[in-house]
Amino acid sequence: ATVGQEVRIPVQSVDVNEQDKVSISVRPTSVELPNQRWVGDSYCRATGSSVPGFASPCPGGVWERVLVYTPRVSEMGMQYRVFFDSADDGLGPVTVAGQSRFSRSAALPGAACGTAPGLCRAAGSMARGVEPKPALTVSVVQKRPLFVQGVEGRALYAVPGGPILGGLISFQGSPVDGATMPAAYVNCEMAPFGVYAFKQNSRVNISLEAGGPLSPTRVGLVATPSVLFFNQGAAAERDSYYSFLGVTWRPPLGSEGRRYGVCFRAEDEVSVSRLCVTLPVARCVYCTREAETLKEVAERFDTHWLQVWSANDPDHAMSMQAQFAASRVTPWTRTHDPHKIDPGLAVRLGPVLVTRHDLQLGAIAERYRMGLHSLLRVNPDLAEMPEAGPGTVIPAGQEICLLPKICTESGG
């Protein structure tokens, strides 16, 4: 049984005497379910009538009564074992050979029975069950909101009275908990995504958890308001509502190379679920916010425009096509015109080195003819290492953005 959700428990009893009325109840010595109630009296399953007789028997002798129970929050984790009694009114003939599960009229005082398999009458006595009574074990649980995944293409519509979101929404589904999202790029809008949550008979609110020092909320990530949607383009009951929360982000300079964690909370009045994902920021790529020249981009990172131009060869853009598409980013490919780079284009600053073994920062800077200051500027995460300097050891497997010094007519 789930907290807050009504449970209907049908309890059945069989009496071979089709003219008898059977009454079903919780055994007096049994623990009752808190907040329980019966829905009416016992009734014949075949006819729906609660008043049998010789003129209107109960075919098959199957009787039912429905017990209704709604668990409360205070009962979470409780387990109840409930026993039931079944008794007939003893007014009809009984087939002794049939040995009804809940009626043996031959055992009643004053009963007049013939030789089995004959009929006998219970002389107006109440025929209570003498066999073991049926038992029901009820365990109370609390369902949590579910993050909905794997339902791409479902159409959702804004709930009337809610925020205006432009009509039809493409339902992409939530990412998997622990997933790493497509890379974001400095100055480019992150590929939009959001989480959808659902809990039957409940309205779920979704929010971002307050993060620590490496939370993207500290560097500009924001969430949309938590809103509700329903299916099929028409208003529906509460149990068909989905809650949605989206996030938007434009990673700032200084975030490149980092991996940020963000967590979502889906909760109602009594339960909560969490979903966390990782947002990596690509290293060595810069998105233009406004029209810039290649020279302006290069000077921003203390390098030469020819070095940046050579890093943006068409072959590299082709090899990164799938990654750029997943991130909703457009690479700069019109390299024949370095005097104008349109806004919102991803410009590769240089190659990314992945160290094969431990290396010192000073040795890396010297090998690629970079000043240590320039090396740390395009690798801000390395600059935050304790006392970062020429002797700082970079472990194997570390990515490092490189802006190698190139030969020019003026620089030699």
Residue 195 lies in a domain: yes
Question: What are the structure tokens assigned to 52, written together?
Answer: 């049998």
Query: For strand 193-198 and strand 94-95, is the pairing parallel, antiparallel, or unpaired?
Result: unpaired
In a domain, 267, yes or no: yes
pTM of the model: 0.67
DSSP string, 22-62: EEEEE-TTSPPPTTEEEEEEEEETTT--S---SSS--GGGE
Domain range spanning residue 57? 7-139
Q: Do residue 112 and residue 158 come from a single domain?
A: no
Residue at 1 is within a domain: no
- Choosing from 108, 139, 170, the residue where a domain stops is 139
Domain containing residue 181: CATH number:
2.60.40.10
The pLDDT of residue 106: 38
Q: Which of 99, 117, 139 is the last residue of a domain?
A: 139
pLDDT digits (tens, 9 = 90+) for 298-339: 999 999 999 999 999 888 889 999 999 999 999 999 888 888
Q: Residue 67: what pLDDT?
A: 92
DSSP 8-state symbol, 180: B
Q: Are residues 108 and 153 in the same domain?
A: no
* Residues 67, 48 share a domain: yes
Query: Which of 139, 168, 196 corresponds to the end of one domain?
Result: 139
- The pLDDT score that the predictor gives to residue 186 is 96
Let me know whether 192 and 279 are in one domain: yes
Q: Do 379 and 401 contact (CB within 8 A), yes or no?
A: yes
123 and 97 in a common domain? yes
If you search the block for the tokens 């006998």, which residue do you land on? 120
pLDDT at position 133 is 58
> How far, CA to CA in Å, does 332 sit from each of 217, 284, 321, 323, 348?
28, 14, 12, 14, 8
Residue ranges of the chain with per-residue pLDDT less than 50? 93-132, 153, 160-170, 233-235, 412
Residue 193's pLDDT is 86
410 in a domain, yes or no? Answer: no
Assess whether 341 and 218 both reside in one domain.
Answer: no
If asked whether residues 101 and 160 sit together in one domain, one would say: no
pLDDT at 304: 92
Query: Residue 174 has what pLDDT?
Result: 87
Residue 354 falls inside a structural domain: yes
Domains in the chain: how many in total?
3
**DSSP SS3 for 239:** helix
Contact at 8 Å (CB) between 223 and 245? yes
Domain co-membership, 46 together with 101: yes
Give the pLDDT of residue 93: 47
Residues 273 and 325 in one domain: no
Residue 409 within a domain: no
Identify the pLDDT of residue 171. Answer: 52
State the residue for tokens 């709604």. 70
Same domain, 229 and 309: no
- The pLDDT, as a whole number, for residue 260 is 94
388 falls within a domain: yes
Same domain, 209 and 313: no
Residue 11 sits in the same domain as residue 101: yes
Q: Is residue 412 part of a domain?
A: no
